[in-house]
Structure 1
């Protein structure tokens, strides 16, 4: 006599599905996703996060533009050839570079010969000094200094009777707060003569801005 063991019927509710569509997964066509609800929720969450990140990136871009906005600061000025001789002066005085070929940001004042920083940052400055006496054996005697807020940063000088024509130049990088002033001054008792082709010049530009302390 033989016996056949009958398997117990499988209950459709044997799987702890939670929110999963187990009926779809186990009793429908292959490829049906049993976690469709959860995946939709994940997709919605990712979308919300992406929108939030997009808004944050936009805000960061606005902040960067606020920091670097208006950074086009640059100037080039030279002494007019009409000035045959500047000096000797009774006191130190800014050199009047009155021919302006560039003044982005409006920082350079030709009436004063002074550059005032429109904003805080690191700047590059350079100046060239030229003098021609035209008379051999006459003493060439000049000294020009680059000044930052009244303090000497760089200088160039000449004092001899051997050269009737000479030139020199200096270039520096300076950190300036907004409103800081830079200029080139000719010292008292010195002179610059024979200026031609704008060889006496003063230039500067903002390399990058910085935040005020």
Structure 2
């Protein structure tokens, strides 16, 4: 049926072009029709997903309604025995016919203690099969250096730009500057690793610092000696409260002059990561 409709559309366009001398080609028309058909199919798929979610929500509401009615019947019976009075109680027939929710008239028929127990049962029993987007409030990033960062002295206060971004939920990390800008306020964990290697005659070393909102918050040190390890890495981890818009980045030490470059390759990466914990 779709192919027939496509043929009719193409035939109509070609006929129209015959009268108007337009420059539309048959290939262009066919391509546009295919794109439209793809868009329609995408919309149909989304509608099916929404229908399924609505159906799941309706089933959940029905189950909760049954649980609610049963709970109200049980609590009103308990309240009757506690108060030894039936003057203000709603009969089961009335409850079933009214099809009520917790916010309507329950406080007039159920004692306060029973109402509290009822609310607890309802809150703990609520469930939903509809999928939830668990990534909405997540902030997390991870990046590393793609290659060796200079075999010459980097100097003090040199911002290390970790240019390969593997994770950036919340879009807070900026590889061009090496700076993480907090998209949300809260407590964060930050960790970084700087690797050095002494493959010549002299030792290589670097002290690195993490800067949060223009203040040094922590540091790490790595020392590689030719005669022994020849390779070393320094890792630092901090937990800090960061306000929305604050800058966080890694740099070489402001006063301790390092020697050599910062390594990063397949056997060991110099990296920077962070994530929000609340």
TM (norm. structure 2) is: 0.49
RMSD across aligned C-alpha pairs, in angstroms?
3.4
More helix by share: 2
Alpha-carbon distance in 2 for matches of 1:203, 1:35: 65
CA deviation map 1:126-182 (0-9, x unaligned):
0011011311x3131311101111111111124575553111211111101111111
2:175 paired with 1:105: no
Look up the match of 2:240: 174
**Corresponding residue pairs, total:** 159
Q: 2:185 aligns with which of 104, 120, 137?
A: 120
The answer to whether the 8 A contact 2:197-2:224 is kept is no
Deviation at 1:96, TM superposition (A): 0.9
Deviation at 1:89, TM superposition (A): 3.0
Q: What stretches of structure 2 of length at least 5 have no aligned partner?
A: 1-84, 108-114, 124-133
Q: SS at 2:244's partner residue?
A: coil
Q: SS at 2:205's partner residue?
A: strand
2:137 paired with 1:77: no
Alpha-carbon distance in 2 for matches of 1:86, 1:150: 27
Higher relative contact order (CA 8 A, sep 6+): 1
The answer to whether the 8 A contact 1:89-1:187 is kept is no
The answer to whether the 8 A contact 2:196-2:222 is kept is no
Deviation at 1:49, TM superposition (A): 4.7
Q: What stretches of structure 1 of length at least 5 have no aligned partner?
A: 1-33, 58-67, 209-213
More strand by share: 1
Q: 2:210 aligns with which of 146, 171, 181?
A: 146
Deviation at 1:103, TM superposition (A): 0.3
Further displaced range: 164-173 or 151-160? 151-160
Look up the match of 1:207: 277
Q: Which runs of 4+ in 1 moved over 3 A?
A: 40-47, 158-163
Q: 1:192 aligns with which of 261, 265, 270?
A: 261
Residues 193, 35 of structure 1: alpha-carbon distance in 2 compared, 3 angstrom cutoff: closer
Alpha-carbon distance in 2 for matches of 1:47, 1:177: 39
TM (norm. structure 1) is: 0.62
Look up the match of 2:153: 88
Deviation at 1:107, TM superposition (A): 0.3
Look up the match of 1:48: 104
Alpha-carbon distance in 1 for matches of 2:185, 2:103: 40
Alpha-carbon distance in 1 for matches of 2:183, 2:164: 20
Q: SS at 2:269's partner residue?
A: coil
The answer to whether the 8 A contact 1:133-1:194 is kept is no
Deviation at 1:194, TM superposition (A): 3.6
Alpha-carbon distance in 2 for matches of 1:47, 1:105: 38
